[in-house]
Structure 1
Amino acid sequence: MEYILVFDAGTGSVRALLFDKNGNQVAASQFEWTHIEDPRFPGSMNFDVEKNWELVNTCISQVLNKSGVDPTAIKAVSATSMREGFVLYDHSGKEIWACANVDSRAAAEAKELKSIDPDLEKKLYEQSGQTFALGALPRLLWLKKNQPDLYEKTAYMTMINDWILYKLTNMLQVDPSNGCTTGIFDLKTRTWTPVIAEACDLKNNIFPPVNEAGQLLGTISESMAAATGLSKGTPVISGGGDAQMASIGVGAIKDGQTFICGGSFWQQEINIKEPVVDPKNRIRVNCHAIPDLWQIETIAFFPGLVMRWFRDAFCETEMLEAARTGRDAYEILEEKAKDVPIGSNGIIPIFSDVMDYMSWRHAAPSFLNLTLDAAKTGKKELFKSIQENAALITYGNLKIVEDVTGHYPQEAIFAGGGSKGKLWSQTLADVLGIPVKVPVEKEAAALGTAIMAGIAVGLYPDLETAVAELVKWERVHQPNEDHHQQYLAIYENWRSVYAEQLKLADSGKTRHMWIAPGISI
């Protein structure tokens, strides 16, 4: 059997996953990594390249030991990662600075960039599809102002997945699907545009070559083979951003397809054949990992984190039952919530707003419209309302996309941790009013990366064939039209209530759940 090794470098951990040619996960190893806050710089989240490379190496060793696979049977190695996190290097190729995607130290710099020209962010958005909210420009300006010695030494810049592949091949490069999230890419040409850096008074010469996902970067050297246990000469293949590789891993490879990734954040990825930005600047636009596709991306903040908070804070009974029975606590909660009426007896959760990329902020977290009747307002109703709320935000985001493109999806693919819940998946179908398909393989980003690497080394003839063979479906949830009509009314009411709650946060009477760097209210 032939195998593919993939690294998935997420926000909270790094994983190595070994897939066989048939797309089966053979072995995996995972370690959490901690992003260190420098006490001198509030909001900083430094990415420790030395310690984290040790974790990558340990993952390799564990996967090889667990699987018992001969390293020579591994025919390709590739990597995917969180977007927005990046690494800077000096002229010798040594890492000198790195940050995770959750780094938020550059709020003042984002405001400064906005003050240069009130229309600058909009102009850059029209070319790059990005704003200052998540991109690299404010952080680079922060480095220039606060650590000028490191800024002056900076000669190259890559993303986190590219850093892993650089360690294996000594080749500095980026791919468009992750590189574009810096905000320094031209969407149409899918490559760096130094003009954007110049407009922000930043270096215009730190940008390495660009390779689309699935390109041969090099092979494992003798010294790297000795250090990692991998086989000398194993091809190393370019990867991409996690959401884009996950799109491939669930078969979202054609124009018009919609993929919902239900994790800590919920991302909605809508494939488009030409890059189209929003005149109202509400949506994000990225390069897909497929060369002739782009993606509109909308994001719901924290549904997975909200659900985890609720479980940990209020569901000790279910967690104890899960430990005793070996079942998942969320499965137990879904079982208890399955008969809760549509709308959760009127509970109105306030967490994420729908997407507003240029003025991105969220009201203070809360549950509204509770009753004092324990039979109507209790744990199972609150649980169901969180699930409904994530689906309502998703619906709102897809309606924004429809406003921009004229297209509302005919069906959606749902993967990630949220898709494990059958009740949550059905609720999503009912709210959206369309069928929701759930794939068997939940590690979609890793599988998508493996598919692109496998094509590169000839294990699969082409992308369509690989997806047809490897992407399998666990279930399809058909929408209940009566429930959908009820949810349309619930959505309109939620939007009205949310607007009032956002005013409270904007006025300072409550605290925003999250507000983008540089936003002035």
Structure 2
Amino acid sequence: MGKYLMAIDAGTGSIRAVIFDLDGNQISCCQHEWDHIEDPKYPGSMNFDWVNGWVLAKQCIEGATKDAGIDSSEIAAISTTCMREGIVLYDASGQEIWACANVDARSTDEVVELIRSYPGLEKELYLESGQSFALDALPRLLWVKNKLPDIYEKVAKIGMFNDWLIYKLTGSMIVEPSNGSTSGLMDLRTRNWDPSILERCGLKTDIFPEVRESGTIAGEVSENAASETGLTAGTKVVVGGGDAQLGCIGVGVVDPNEAAIFGGSFWQYEYNTGEAKTDPQCRVRVNCHAVPNVWQYEALAFKPGLVMRWFRDGFCQLEKKLSEETGRDPYDIMNEEAAKIPAGCYGMMCTFSDVMNFISWKHAAPTFTNFELDPERFSRYTFYRAILENTALVTRGHMDLVRESTGNMPSEVLFASGASKSPLWSQILADVLGIPVKVPSVKEATALGAAIIAGYGVGLYSDISETSKRLVHIAATYEPNMENHKVYNEMYESWRKVYATQLDLANSGLTRHMWAAPGV
């Protein structure tokens, strides 16, 4: 059997193929950016171009194999992962006929009509599926039915993006629960499709492919796919999973009562549980994990990474210039100065993302408040640190939500993705949460999770949890400063009240929401 594993990751902003050896060491990575273009006829749309997407995927597969300096026959198995929520619709011949990316928001009319016509339906479906109308497939299918009836009549199957990649490689159309559950069309408890969800809304109920758990064999690389990608025909392709779920496997968060935070453009708090239960108040999302009989409570903070980029580009030209002159990351320069600001930023705080409320998901207008006209204390570094603290406070709120639903809090948390590269942000997170924050050394956690799943599927690894914990190495552990923790505990209560007031202003129309779910 081969000595390498390949992961193909279809993310929101790019697609990549990554090759690992059997010890979890990254050997190569080939990545191409892609865009999901808005159709000007349909505001909020994010069309997925499956033709160009497959071209880029093929280039990544060929590039990663070439860069690794190996023959494709040395690849023991392949698995796939992707952004969640994006869907692909197929006709009876298996041809793609419509697709949208993850945060496509064109279906506002359909959400409004669902809420008007079926009061209480969203909560009813949430308690069964763990999803709301904010991101699931139901309003999008209704949109296709209402706006593109000719396309809707041809719909024979629905799938997710990671499953689309497997279909292109093998010809097998299969959906797995970790990503499939984010469609809102599955029963959390059975980890399988629930046709009654579509039936209740007057939609087709016979469009569901077979469901297989992550880590099972989907098929083999076909002769056609081999000729297109340079892969070896017959290579085993293993059912993968959603990006957050495989990211958890890639950082060792596999078993119940373990937790991870992924800090990127959006921040995700993932808490594993052995029970398929939802929040009675519908505030937090619940998905299937990519491990059988494990589920995940998930809470999302909107746009922390994008807020950081905005602040850097809008206010830190000096640091960017120093970066060009010295080769240092501008964020490192900003962190060095922000570390000199005391915890709590002299009482200043900001509002960007709110604590998640899945059933009525919206965020206040961005605001900085409670600062003084004192340039010594309230410099751009104070404002910068306030952004770091704000995101950590949102995460504290997310942990509280999950604790209220499950009765459990993690004793420590894994922190991964781009934000974890900041020692200051990692320390602030530990101080706010009051628990140790561990940062793994892996750079491509989601791809490593997919590689582990691939190896498990072909018998190279006997146990997902054991393998994950063996291959993951901790680069740093941040212990909480309990004096700072006291400061943040007091600050958190004030921040929640300030945020509620700012949200009222946006709800009244005096300010603009930073983001609001369709129809909310």
Instruction: Say yes or no: does 1:249 pair with 2:235.
Output: no
Residue of structure 2 equivalent to 1:97: 98
Alpha-carbon deviations, 1:247-295, whole Å to 9, x = none?
Answer: 1111111111111111111111110101111111111111000011001
For 1:205-231, what per-residue CA distance to the aligned partner results, in whole angstroms no more than 9, with x for missing partners?
111001111111111122221111111
| Deviation of the 1:36 alpha carbon | 1.2
User: In the alignment, residue 166 of structure 2 is paired with which amino acid?
Assistant: L
Cα gap change, 1:464/1:278 in structure 2, threshold over 3 Å: closer, same or farther? closer
Distance 1:320 1:458 in 2: 51
Any idea what the Cα deviations from partners look like across 1:429-475, whole Å, max 9, x if unmatched? 00000001110103111111110111111222211331232111001
Deviates more, 1:374-383 or 1:46-55: 374-383
In the alignment, what sits opposite 1:511? 512
Between the aligned partners of 2:51 and 2:182, the Cα distance in structure 1 is: 24
Counterpart in the other structure of 1:361: 362
Amino acid at match of 1:416: S
Residues 225-264 of structure 1 aligned to structure 2 (within 5 Å): 225-264=226-265
CA distance in 2, matches of 1:66, 1:350: 44
Question: Which aligned pairs between 1:389-408 and structure 2 lie closer than 5 A?
Answer: 389-408=390-409
Instruction: Give 1:95's aligned amino acid.
Output: E
1:15-414 equivalent positions in 2, closer than 5 A: 15-414=16-415
One-letter identity of the residue aligned with 2:507: D
Alpha-carbon distance in structure 2 between the residues aligned to 1:176 and 1:320: 47
CA distance in 2, matches of 1:304, 1:459: 37
Q: Find out whether 1:437 has 2:438 as its counterpart.
A: yes
Q: Identify which range, 332-341 or 428-437, moves more after superposition.
A: 332-341
Letter in 2 for 1:261: F
Q: Distance in 2 between matches of 1:225 and 1:324?
A: 46
Number of positions where the alignment pairs a residue of Structure 1 with one of Structure 2:
519
Which SS does the other structure have where 1:17 is aligned?
strand
**TM-score, normalised to structure 1's length?**
0.98
CA distance in structure 2 between the partners assigned to 1:60 and 1:293 by the alignment: 31
Q: Is the partner of 1:121 in helix, strand or coil?
A: helix
Structure 1's unaligned 5+ residue stretches are none
Q: CA deviation at 1:421?
A: 0.5
Letter in 2 for 1:86: I
Instruction: Say if 1:85 and 1:98, in contact at 8 Å, map to a contact too.
Output: yes
- Paired amino acid for 1:218: G
Question: In structure 2, what is the Cα distance between the partners aligned to 1:362 and 1:267?
Answer: 16
Stretches of structure 2 that go unaligned for 5 or more consecutive residues are none
In 2, the alpha carbon distance for the partners of 1:469 and 1:129 equals 31
Q: Is the 8 A contact 1:4 1:75 kept in 2?
A: yes
> What residue is the counterpart of 2:458 in the other structure?
457
Decide whether the 8 Å contact of 1:11 with 1:102 is kept in 2.
no
Contact kept in structure 1, 2:127 and 2:278, CA below 8 Å: yes
- Mapped to 1, the partners of 2:222 and 2:194 lie a distance apart of 33
What SS does structure 2 have at the residue aligned with 1:238? strand
**Secondary structure, in 3 states, of the residue corresponding to 1:239?**
strand
Q: Could you report, residue by residue, the CA deviation over 1:340-386 in whole angstroms, capped at 9, with x for unpaired residues?
A: 11111222111011011111110001211222111111121111111
Aligned mates of 1:383, 1:442 — CA distance in 2: 25
User: Structure 2: how far apart are the matches of 1:172 and 1:192?
Assistant: 15
Q: Counterpart amino acid of 2:228?
A: A
Distance apart, 1:201 and its partner CA: 1.2
Distance 1:334 1:496 in 2: 28
Q: Give the conservation status (yes or no) of the 8 Å contact 2:255–2:465.
A: no
Q: What do residues 45-96 of structure 1 show as CA deviations (whole Å, max 9, x unaligned)? A: 1000001110111111211221111111111111100000010000000000
Equivalent pair of 2:15/2:31 in contact (CA under 8 Å): yes
* Distance in structure 1 (CA, Å) of the matches to 2:376 and 2:147: 56
1:154 positional shift:
0.4
When structure 1 is superposed on structure 2, of 245-254 and 321-330 the one drifting more is: 321-330
Q: Is the 8 A contact 2:171 2:222 kept in 1?
A: no
1:90-143 alpha-carbon deviations (Å, 9 max, x no partner) = 000000000001211001101111112211111111110111011000010000
RMSD of aligned alpha carbons: 1.0
**Higher mean C-alpha deviation, range 90-99 or range 299-308:** 299-308
In the alignment, the residues of structure 2 paired with residue 200 and residue 420 of structure 1 have an alpha-carbon distance, to the nearest angstrom, of 45
Give the 5 Å matches for 1:438-517.
438-517=439-518
* Separation in structure 2 between the aligned mates of residue 513 and residue 127 of structure 1, nearest angstrom: 29
Distance in 2 between residues matched to 1:320 and 1:3, nearest whole Å: 42
Report the TM-score when normalising by structure 2: 0.98
Q: Deviation above 4 Å: which 4+ runs of structure 1?
A: none
Q: Which amino acid aligns with 2:52?
A: K
Please say if residues 387 and 427 of structure 1, whose CA atoms lie closer than 8 Å, have aligned partners that are also in contact.
yes
CA contact (8 A) 1:271 1:296 kept: yes
Q: Is the 8 A contact 1:344 1:384 kept in 2?
A: yes
Alpha-carbon distance between aligned partners in 1 of 2:348 and 2:75, rounded to the nearest angstrom: 52
Say which SS state the counterpart of residue 174 (structure 2) adopts.
Answer: coil
